[in-house]
Structure formats: structure tokens, C-alpha cells
Amino acid sequence: MSAEVLVFDILAVLAVISGAGVVLARNPVHSAISLVVTFVNLAGIFVMLRAEFLGVVQIIVYTGAILVLVLFVIMLVDPDDLPDFHGGRPLQRAAAFVIGLMLLGEVAVAILTRTVVGQPGPWSEEFVLEQGGNVQVLGQFLYSGYVLPIQAIAVVLLVGTIGALVLARPDEPVGRPRPRHTGTISLGHPRGAEGEFHEPLPLGAGAGAARSERRGEMRGGIIVVTDAESYSDRPAWELEFSEPSADSNDTSYADDGFGVGKERNRS
Amino acid sequence: MTDQPLWITYIVGFIVLNLLLVGMAYMTWAERKVIALMQDRVGPNRTGPFGLLQPIADGVKLLGKEDLVPKFADKRVFIIAPLISFVTAPLAGLVIPFGDTVTIFGQEINLYVTDLNVGVLYMLAVGSVGVYGIILGGYSSANRYSLLGALRAAAQVISYEIVLGLSLVGVFILSSSLSLVTIVNEQRQPLDFSLGGLDFSIPNWYIFSQPIAFIIFLIAAVAETNRAPFDLPEAETELISGFHTEYSGFRFSFYFLAEYISMIVISLLAASLFLGGIDGPLADGFWWLLLKASIFLFFYIWLRATLPRFRYDQLMGIAWKVLLPLTLVNILLTGLIRLRGNDQISLQAFLITGGVILVVVLAVYLASTRKQEAYVG
């Protein structure tokens, strides 16, 4: 057995094992890690096929960007909120099994009828090298013959981005106008996205009123609070659902060590 | 480039990896010494002359510490995560050319481990896999601060990786290659030109033809390695060290090693991409590369001693609102000039396109500054 076959066997076996791990793992984070391992092994197989560019791009795009975001989402979601991982009604499971088998059959038919029977294409290793190499050939193809599809894909991605932005925009304010939350959990400040440090987003009709409602402002690096109620110790994501009221403050308003709580008791 | 038996490549790789490890150890020593000098202190001076044995003492100390695994931690992931960071950090060093070839015992040896035709992309890919060490470490610690640090790291590294990659496109256009060996060799041909009857010969280093890209690369590289002033993932004052809060003993030092090794590797990369690598006056050789990399490393330390940490939204704002548009403009202009240099477009077309690009950029800039007054944060 040559070294190349040995390396391929190792990569393939690892890819299959970790692929099974994606489905079988009980913990969604473990599933995602297995998927990472699968992708890295697939990239290795691409490199063995002399498609170095494809292999590296596979790692950069899928492993480095997309799966990181997937992990991001999984880690932020409470595991109890996730649907039962291996549940489902018997009928659903049977249907899934049949569909999976059909997919497998489809792939098997495609492989058996095309790869083995078909003729090898013109792009042999030597021919690609003659043309200037892997990256050069790919670049020339994508940006001469396939410009239009590439642009179309770019537009689709742009639409997706704008759609996500529209969906993530906060809804109209309910109740009394107050400084708007930006709709994101700010990882930058311990008080989260309480919005007191920033101008509220100019959205909707209540924005002007909301601005006059601000009772704390930044002066020369110091936050000047005119009314203790304009700040609270609750994290931003709780504030989205429950406004801290005056009477609940007395029980939940703990001194956070910055002297904010004491300030309030004195006033 | 010569073909050589595989075992020689293994030996070269072994030497490179060990050099990186030793370099990392003395990087910590140098950092403490330089910061001490900048703060008017003495720095480590107890172990050996000038405290030179301090890294070894630190290593022994870290080995002797208690190895804790939090009770509710995801144990397997907790153990694997620092290893991911540690293994991927030096891997990127394998494509850096340390010289041409030397002949030892009649055998020609390449002074680089491998000449991948996608070398630079490979470094970016390895770096992006290294993020998993941080994310998984933060997740598996079962600690809110660690998770926050991990999330910050993920968002930061993904954002700055885009900037880092795009800032290099100008270099790729000029050298028409992704291989580091080719890029360095392109820079080693001197650029001769005459101005007012005088003949000049300057090195064809890409820092001269790609100054914007160089500055952007430098900023993004600092953010990519999670160093001050972009060390948000491990901000001590807010997150009590972020993703490695729960790590102790040698597991912690894996993260430590990874951070310093990736600093060294990215400095070597910057020296190779923009400063000509092994190219230098008198005699080319790896000493020039090491000197240039040391300048970058000193710059890293200098930044840490000087600048306060950014706020998180500022960090993201710099990446997406400032650096990314700048890289795109840089790519456009570089491509345009390259086309003109190859005589693929006429002078009129060149001037008109360039003018349109400049007008559009200026308009977008003016529009965005007016918008930002409304959307602070």
C-alpha cells in the first residue's frame, strides 16, 4: 500500500467516523465539533487531489467562518429550549429513514454511472500546471466565463444580509417611549445594550420623545445621573421583557460595587 | 527550489518548530524586559544573567501547578481546546521561507519546510482553525465570563480575518502568486528607475507599493492575535481573563504559548510579505528576516505598553467601517494600476476609471460621516 493510499484511508475513515459523530452526539456542541473534524478531513482529501486552493478555501469558509457562527448560536441557546435531539414521532423517523436511503441511493447511482463509466476530463494535473496553476485557472474561469453566475450569487448573498438586518431591527416601542435598545446584546459593556451611553436609534415616531426622556448623560467622561431610575442593574436582555418598576427596585437593586446602589438610597 | 528527500523536510520542520518554541520563551522574557524599561523598572533579573533563565523557571512553575478541571465543565472539550490552539499556532510557520538553499554534505536543502502554491491562504486557514481553541475553551469552562470572552474572540477574529485576507489581495495582484516563496523572490529584484538624470535602485519591497495594505495588515494582525489594544477576549478588568479563566497549570500555558507563537509567526509573515523577508543589503539571509520580525515584535510590545484597550463596539467599528472599505479601495486601485502597467487598458480609460473610483469613495466617505452623527455606537 503506497503512502498516498494510506493517507487517503486515514482521512476518509476519520471523515466518516466524525460524520457519524455529527448525527450521534447527544450534545449539539459535540455535533458541531465533529462537523469541524469532518470538514478538515475533507479539505485534506481535496489537497490530495491536487486541489489545494479548494481545500484551503474549504477550511477558511466552512471551518473558519460558518461553523464558528453555528457554534455561536448553539452556545447561546439554552439546551433546554432545543427540540428533543433524538425524538420525533415514529412516522417522522420512518420517513426520515426512507428519505435518507433515497438520498444515499441517488448519490450511489450518480457515482456509479458517472465517475466510473465516464471519460476523464481535459483538466489533468499536467494541463492545469501548463495553464499556470490551480488558482490561476480557477480565477480565469470564474471571472471570465462565469462572471454572471458569480455576480448573481453575490447579489443573493447581499439580499440575505439585508434581510437579516431588517429582521433584526427592533419592533416599534410599546408603552411609554423610552431609549431604544439596539436589539443586540452588547458584549462590550457590563450594563449590556442599555442604550444610555449612545444616542437612541432614530426609528419610528417615538424617537424624539425618547431622546428628551434621557436623564443621564456623559460629561467629560463621567456619567452624570440626574435620576437614579434611569439606570438599573438588570442585564439588557431582561430589560427587553420587564421594565424595572419603582417598587421592585428595592428588593432587586443590589449594590454592584460601583456605588450606584448607594447613590440611589441617599436620594 | 530543489527536490529533496522527505526526511530532510521533516528535519527542517522539526528545527523550525523548535525555533518557534524557543523564540516564544524568549519573547516572554523580552516583553517583560521591554515593558519594564518603558515603565522605568528593572524587570526580571534574578534568574541567570539579565534574568535570561526566567522563561525556564516560569515553565517549571507552570508544570508544578495544580491542574484543575471545573466540576461542571465539558471535560473532553475542556482538555482538547488548549491543544487546538497550541497545535495550530506554529503550523503556519511551516510555509515561511528562511532562505534559499544551503548545501550540507553534498545535499541541497531548502531553507523552508514547504512551498505551498496557496501558502498565504494556508496561513489564514490555520489561523481560523485556531479560533476553535478559544471558543471551545470558553464554552467548556462552564463559566459566564469565559463564554463571553469566547464569543468576543469569535466575533473579533472572524471580522479581522476578513480584513487581514483582503489587505493581502494587493500583494497577490502585484506578485501574481499566493506562494510565499514566490512573493519573497519577487521582492528581491531591485527596482531601478531614473529621476532627473539620476539613477535610483530601491528594493522592490511591497511596503513601498502597498503602504495602505501594510498598515491595515499590521492593525488586523494585532487584533487577530488578541493582543493589546485589541485583547478584548481576555480583558482582565472586565472578564477576569475571559476564555482562560478556568484554566490552570500547563493547560493555561498552552494558551500562553499559542498566543506568543502566533505573534512570532505573524511577525515573520509581515516581514516576508511586506519587507522583503530575507532580502537585505550586503548579504541576503535569514538574519534579515529575524531582524525585521524582531522589529514587529518590539512594535507589539510597545503597543501593549502604550495603548489602553478599545471598547467592544469601537473594535467592531474599526474593522467593518474603516478597515474593510479601505482594503476594498486599495484592491480596486491596485488592480487598476496593474492593468495600466500591463498595457491592458488605455490611458484615458485608466484616468476615467480612477477618477470615478475616487469620486465614489469620497462621496461615500462624506455620506458616512454625516450618518455617523446620528448613529453613535
DSSP string, B165-194: HHHTHHHHHHHT---HHHHHHHHTS-EEEE
Name the more confident of A114 and A151.
A151
pLDDT in the model for residue A101: 94
The answer to whether B288 and B231 have CB atoms below 8 angstroms apart is no
B238: nearest CB among A30, A69, A190: A190
pLDDT in the model for residue B247: 83
A187: nearest CB among B74, B151, B375: B151
B191 vs chain A: nearest CA distance in angstroms?
25
Rounded to a whole number of angstroms, the CA Rg of chain A reads 28
| Whole-angstrom distance, CA of residue B12 vs CA of residue B89 | 17
pLDDT for B187 beyond 90: no
Backbone angles phi, psi at B22, to 5 degrees: -65, -40
Q: Which residue, among B137, B172, B135, has the nearest Cα to B152 in the 3D structure?
A: B135
Longest dimension (CA), chain B: 76
| Whole-angstrom distance, CA of residue B232 vs CA of residue B309 | 7
Q: Would the CB atoms of B151 and A186 count as touching at under 8 Å?
A: no
pLDDT for A197 beyond 70: no
The answer to whether B280 and B204 have CB atoms below 8 angstroms apart is no
Q: Which range is most confident: A125-139, A240-254, B37-51, B235-249?
A: B37-51
Q: Would the CB atoms of A57 and B116 count as touching at under 8 Å?
A: no
Interface confidence, given as ipTM, is 0.78
Question: What share of chain B has pLDDT > 70, as a percent?
Answer: 94
Q: Which of B10, B132, B144, B181 to mutate to test the interface with A (most CBs of A within 10 A)?
A: B132
Q: Would the CB atoms of B129 and A64 count as touching at under 8 Å?
A: yes
- Three-state SS at B202: strand
- b vs e for B180-191, b when ≥16 Cβ sit within 10 Å of the residue's Cβ? bbbbbbbbbeee
Contacts of A27 in chain B (CB under 8 A): 74
- Domain residue ranges in chain B: 6-344
Q: Would the CB atoms of B155 and A187 count as touching at under 8 Å?
A: yes
pLDDT in tens, B280-295: 777 777 788 888 888 8
Q: Would the CB atoms of A52 and B118 count as touching at under 8 Å?
A: yes
Residues 6 or more apart in contact with residue A253 via CB below 8 angstroms: A232, A233, A261, A264
Mean pLDDT score across all residues of chain B: 81
| Whole-angstrom distance, CA of residue B94 vs CA of residue B92 | 5
Q: How confident is the model at residue A225 (pLDDT cuts 50, 70, 90)?
A: low
Residues 6 or more apart in contact with residue B364 via CB below 8 angstroms: B325
- Looking at residue B54, its amino acid is Q
Q: Which of A60, A69, A129, A143 to mutate to test the interface with B (most CBs of B within 10 A)?
A: A60
Backbone angles phi, psi at B102, to 5 degrees: -125, 155
Strands A222-225, B198-202: pairing is unpaired
- Cβ-based interface (< 8 Å): residues of A facing B: 27, 29-30, 33, 36, 40, 43, 52-53, 56-57, 59-60, 63-65, 68-69, 71-72, 75-76, 133-136, 182, 186-190, 197-199, 201-202
Q: Which residue, among A187, A138, A173, has the nearest Cα to A243 in the 3D structure?
A: A173
Burial class (CB in 10 A: 0-12, 13-18, 19+), B325: middle
Contacts of A199 in chain B (CB under 8 A): 374-377
- For residue B104, the surrounding DSSP H or E stretch is strand B101-104
Chain centroid to CA B92: 10
Residues 6 or more apart in contact with residue B14 via CB below 8 angstroms: none
- Cβ-based interface (< 8 Å): residues of B facing A: 74, 77, 116-118, 121-122, 124-129, 131-132, 135-136, 139, 147-148, 150-152, 154-155, 158, 161, 165, 176, 178, 232, 238, 311-313, 315, 374-377
| Whole-angstrom distance, CA of residue A51 vs CA of residue A65 | 20
pLDDT for A208 beyond 80: no
CA distances in angstroms from A227 to A198, A247, A264, listed in the order given: 17, 15, 8
The answer to whether B134 and B146 have CB atoms below 8 angstroms apart is no
| Whole-angstrom distance, CA of residue A85 vs CA of residue A108 | 28
Number of CB pairs, chain A paired with chain B, less than 8 A apart:
104
A181 vs chain B: nearest CA distance in angstroms?
12
pLDDT in the model for residue A155: 94
Q: pTM (2 decimals)?
A: 0.73
pLDDT in tens, B271-325: 888 887 777 777 777 788 888 888 888 998 888 888 888 878 788 888 888 888 8
CA distances in angstroms from B348 to B168, B330, B332, B334, B355, listed in the order given: 28, 20, 17, 17, 10
A197: nearest CB among B129, B155, B377: B377
Lowest mean pLDDT among A33-47, A86-100, A171-185: A171-185
- For residue B151, the surrounding DSSP H or E stretch is helix B144-167
Lowest mean pLDDT among A125-134, A223-232, B170-179, B355-364: A223-232
Q: Would the CB atoms of A68 and B118 count as touching at under 8 Å?
A: no
Mean pLDDT score across all residues of chain A: 70
CA distances in angstroms from A107 to A46, A93, A101, A183, listed in the order given: 19, 21, 10, 43
Backbone angles phi, psi at B192, to 5 degrees: -100, 135
pLDDT in the model for residue A102: 94
Contacts of A190 in chain B (CB under 8 A): 238
Q: How confident is the model at residue A1 (pLDDT cuts 50, 70, 90)?
A: low
| Whole-angstrom distance, CA of residue B16 vs CA of residue B26 | 15
Contacts of B155 in chain A (CB under 8 A): 72, 187
| Whole-angstrom distance, CA of residue B25 vs CA of residue B16 | 14
| Whole-angstrom distance, CA of residue B143 vs CA of residue B244 | 10
Beta bridge pairs of residue A225? A216
Q: Would the CB atoms of A53 and B118 count as touching at under 8 Å?
A: yes
pLDDT in tens, B61-111: 888 888 888 877 788 888 888 888 888 888 888 888 887 777 777 677 777
Backbone angles phi, psi at A112, to 5 degrees: -70, -35
B154: nearest CB among A36, A56, A72: A72
Beta bridge pairs of residue A219? A222
Domains recognised in chain A with CATH numbers: 1-87 (1.20.120.1200), 169-267 (no CATH)
Q: Would the CB atoms of B128 and A33 count as touching at under 8 Å?
A: no
